[in-house]
Chain A
């Protein structure tokens, strides 16, 4: 019997792994005296996969049988893979026993659509309900809100789950129609809007009536697949910003498209666009924690994020008029905009400067990344080099490594990375120029 579960777990974990979200933070569910688990405060990554992603939740599909045929998904109807399905009891057993051994923070349950949407959603809710009520489980539960499910089921899911998510997957409706003919934006936005209203409503009510039950206290999130369709970074970030503003989403996840599919509706990528994914996350952080607006990060002239420099640096180089910033005088919001200064360093700077003016040595010890920050700030050392700086020069200095750069889009001759490659085009001029010397007066 154990072999059978072993095999199912293999299939259904494998099918669920492309969902990026694995956060277990942000909920407020306290444990009871005789309960199991606690979902307050910080999330915990119990281990990391060999690709460096956090493993916090038991992330599985209830089943990978699916009536839909979305080109980007491994479980699509037309794909020839092994299918399996868990029973409700099996999922409950696995969750409890993994949790007890401190392997996981909770359960992330998603599913392929079998029979119809409501039937599937009802199963997901039943598992969460059983864990909460019969097993007094107070760990984290993340459920998928399946587009098209009835409001009653979505509501019930919110009562038992800490977080719910509806995945938009493809960053524009036009492209979505092409790769997933059975799906549309309207049916994804419907549960999303319902959730955002209900979550807000419960929060308001809780302020006056304390006994109001929790409703998805960890909020809702979504996921966008990057690189499978032609949208640029501006489209993606504007969409994400809209979701943060209007739907009050906790997180938008970006998933670099991994060429899992030989479906003709999708481009044949050689490798996942990991660099682009990383830059998008950096931009996302700027939106959420650094007070940036989308049009400050990308605009009509620069619809794509710079792959070579992080978006904050890109902003600083495009706006030399705002720099250098005096760390001993400027407001928190502006200190936060200096490249190489993060939220923690910025707060430390604000705290520490009350005790006296800050010099370079203090800033370095506080944790400011000097290599990047030095061009954009003035400290008590009164080093005025930075007045009237030239963005082009700074860019070259930052990118100069002394080694010729390898173009990631250039194919290797004979596929041997060590062999000399005579046919390779020279790298872009900015990368091979030596560091220009700046005169210090």
Chain B
């Protein structure tokens, strides 16, 4: 049976709950807004129910531990088509098995989820590395990002630990929301204006361009031309991130 849900994490877990309750494993799970009806298909739309979602998560944690719930949540953030059915399948196998299936790499779904998690982990790590803050006139640090996956919820804590005494915002321009921290607490915000591919110069403090220029000089001078290896360079710093990397702006 095809299930539809609202695209949220709790929504997906509610679907899994329903599939257990109805004794009908899903053949496909799609967000309602993407669903395209087939000829003979009648989708079953599941209302999000936070209590049900919680119960499913608790069950997974019992079987596979915190690592199991982390795995499926992180995979969910990959936004890959078909990820829902994989998570559904994982939860069902985990529930059925008598032992923890988290490390059963012989199973295709388990292996695939681990691979997706690895991709997510890499993207989170890249965000830790490639976020570049620019200081505005009122002393706030602003960074724009555009990650391949929806990794902002996984990336923010790193910066809270790092800059607890600063006021900053990391904004995902593709998904139109940001992580805002004001020296006391974090929250997700959405800017009303949709035009924010770059920060205009009159927003920034005067010294900002100086430090950017210094960083560009450093980047240029630390290069060893005798060892140049552009292929390796591109592998480490893929071109799609360049527009946010200060050191790649002019070079």
Q: Do B227 and A101 touch (CB < 8 A)?
A: no
**B243 at interface (Cβ–Cβ under 8 A)?**
no
Q: Do A103 and B223 touch (CB < 8 A)?
A: no
Q: Do B105 and A31 touch (CB < 8 A)?
A: no
Q: Which of A9, A256, A259, A356 contacts B214 (CB 8 A)?
A: A9
B residues less than 8 Å from A356 (CB atoms): 106
Q: Do A47 and B247 touch (CB < 8 A)?
A: yes
B residues less than 8 Å from A256 (CB atoms): 227
B residues less than 8 Å from A102 (CB atoms): 131-133, 143, 159
Q: Which of A10, A34, A97, A365 contacts B165 (CB 8 A)?
A: A34
A residues less than 8 Å from B226 (CB atoms): 258-259, 271-272
Could you give, for residues 42-66 of chain A, a 1 whenever the CB lies within 8 Å of some chain B CB and a 0 otherwise?
A: 1011111111111100110000000
Q: A10-B217, A17-B223 are in contact. Are A46 and B130 (CB under 8 A)?
A: yes
Q: Do B221 and A48 touch (CB < 8 A)?
A: no
Q: A10-B221, A351-B103 are in contact. Are A50 and B233 (CB under 8 A)?
A: yes
Q: A51-B227, A51-B229 are in contact. Are A101 and B211 (CB under 8 A)?
A: yes
State how many angstroms separate the Cβ of A12 from the closest Cβ of chain B: 9
State how many angstroms separate the Cβ of B153 from the closest Cβ of chain A: 18
Looking at chain B's contact residues, the main secondary structure is helix
**B35 at interface (Cβ–Cβ under 8 A)?**
no
Q: Do B227 and A258 touch (CB < 8 A)?
A: yes
A residues less than 8 Å from B130 (CB atoms): 46-47
A42–B161 Cα gap in the complex (Å)? 14
Q: Do B132 and A101 touch (CB < 8 A)?
A: yes
A residues less than 8 Å from B165 (CB atoms): 33-36
8 Å CB interface, A1-38 against B: 2, 5-6, 9-10, 13-14, 16-18, 31, 33-38
Q: Do B222 and A52 touch (CB < 8 A)?
A: no
Q: Do A101 and B134 touch (CB < 8 A)?
A: yes
Q: Do B213 and A51 touch (CB < 8 A)?
A: no
A residues less than 8 Å from B105 (CB atoms): 348, 351-352, 362, 365-366
Q: Do B214 and A6 touch (CB < 8 A)?
A: yes
Which of A58, A97, A103 counts the most chain B CB atoms within 10 A?
A103
Could you give, for residues 233-259 of chain A, a 1 whenever the CB lies within 8 Å of some chain B CB and a 0 otherwise?
A: 000000000000000000000001011
**B73 at interface (Cβ–Cβ under 8 A)?**
no
A98–B105 Cα gap in the complex (Å)? 43
Total count of chain B residues near the partner, CB < 8 A? 53
Could you give, for residues 234-248 of chain B, a 1 whenever the CB lies within 8 Å of some chain A CB and a 0 otherwise?
A: 011100000001110
Could you give, for residues 325-356 of chain A, a 1 whenever the CB lies within 8 Å of some chain B CB and a 0 otherwise?
A: 00000000000000000000000100110011
Q: A6-B213, A47-B129 are in contact. Are A34 and B218 (CB under 8 A)?
A: no
Q: A49-B222, A362-B106 are in contact. Are A2 and B233 (CB under 8 A)?
A: no
8 Å CB interface, A50-107 against B: 50-55, 58-59, 94, 97-98, 100-103
**B6 at interface (Cβ–Cβ under 8 A)?**
no
Q: Do A2 and B133 touch (CB < 8 A)?
A: no
B residues less than 8 Å from A53 (CB atoms): 224, 227
Which B residue sits closest to A347, measured CB to CB?
B103
The total of Cβ contacts below 8 Å across the A-B interface reads 149
**Number of contact residues on A: which range applies?**
35 or more
**A188 at interface (Cβ–Cβ under 8 A)?**
no
Could you give, for residues 104-136 of chain B, a 1 whenever the CB lies within 8 Å of some chain A CB and a 0 otherwise?
A: 111110010000000000000100111111110
Which A residue sits closest to B134, measured CB to CB?
A101
8 Å CB interface, B43-97 against A: none
A residues less than 8 Å from B227 (CB atoms): 51-53, 256, 258, 272, 274
Q: Which of B108, B163, B222, B236 contacts A36 (CB 8 A)?
A: B163
Q: Do B218 and A9 touch (CB < 8 A)?
A: yes
Q: Which of B128, B162, B211, B222 contacts A55 (CB 8 A)?
A: B222
**B193 at interface (Cβ–Cβ under 8 A)?**
no
**B201 at interface (Cβ–Cβ under 8 A)?**
no
Q: Which of B128, B225, B236, B245 contacts A44 (CB 8 A)?
A: B128
Q: Do B221 and A17 touch (CB < 8 A)?
A: yes
Q: A44-B125, A102-B143 are in contact. Are A49 and B233 (CB under 8 A)?
A: yes
State how many angstroms separate the Cβ of B30 from the closest Cβ of chain A: 27
A61–B219 Cα gap in the complex (Å)? 15
**A153 at interface (Cβ–Cβ under 8 A)?**
no
A residues less than 8 Å from B247 (CB atoms): 47, 103
**A399 at interface (Cβ–Cβ under 8 A)?**
no
Which of B108, B128, B129, B229 counts the most chain A CB atoms within 10 A?
B129
8 Å CB interface, A248-279 against B: 256, 258-259, 271-272, 274
State how many angstroms separate the Cβ of B162 from the closest Cβ of chain A: 5
A258–B226 Cα gap in the complex (Å)? 7
Q: Do B111 and A50 touch (CB < 8 A)?
A: no
Q: Do A100 and B104 touch (CB < 8 A)?
A: no
State how many angstroms separate the Cβ of B65 from the closest Cβ of chain A: 14
Q: Do B163 and A49 touch (CB < 8 A)?
A: no
State how many angstroms separate the Cβ of B192 from the closest Cβ of chain A: 26
**B166 at interface (Cβ–Cβ under 8 A)?**
yes
Which A residue sits closest to B103, measured CB to CB?
A351
Q: Do A6 and B233 touch (CB < 8 A)?
A: no
Which A residue sits closest to B232, measured CB to CB?
A52
Q: Which of A33, A52, A101, A355 contacts B104 (CB 8 A)?
A: A355
Q: Which of A31, A50, A54, A94 contacts B223 (CB 8 A)?
A: A50
Other A-B contacts than A14-B222, A49-B224, A51-B229, 13 sampled, CB-CB below 8 A, are A10-B217, A48-B233, A49-B223, A98-B214, A102-B143, A102-B159, A258-B227, A259-B226, A348-B105, A352-B106, A358-B106, A362-B106, A365-B105
B interface with A by C-beta (< 8 Å): 103-108, 111, 125, 128-135, 141, 143, 159, 161-166, 207, 210-211, 213-215, 217-230, 232-233, 235-237, 245-247
Closest A-B pairs by Cβ, 6 of them: A52-B232, A51-B227, A352-B105, A48-B236, A351-B103, A13-B221
Interchain residue pairs with CB less than 8 A apart (18): A2-B214, A10-B221, A14-B221, A17-B222, A17-B224, A31-B162, A37-B162, A45-B236, A47-B130, A48-B233, A50-B223, A50-B230, A50-B233, A55-B219, A98-B211, A98-B214, A258-B224, A362-B105
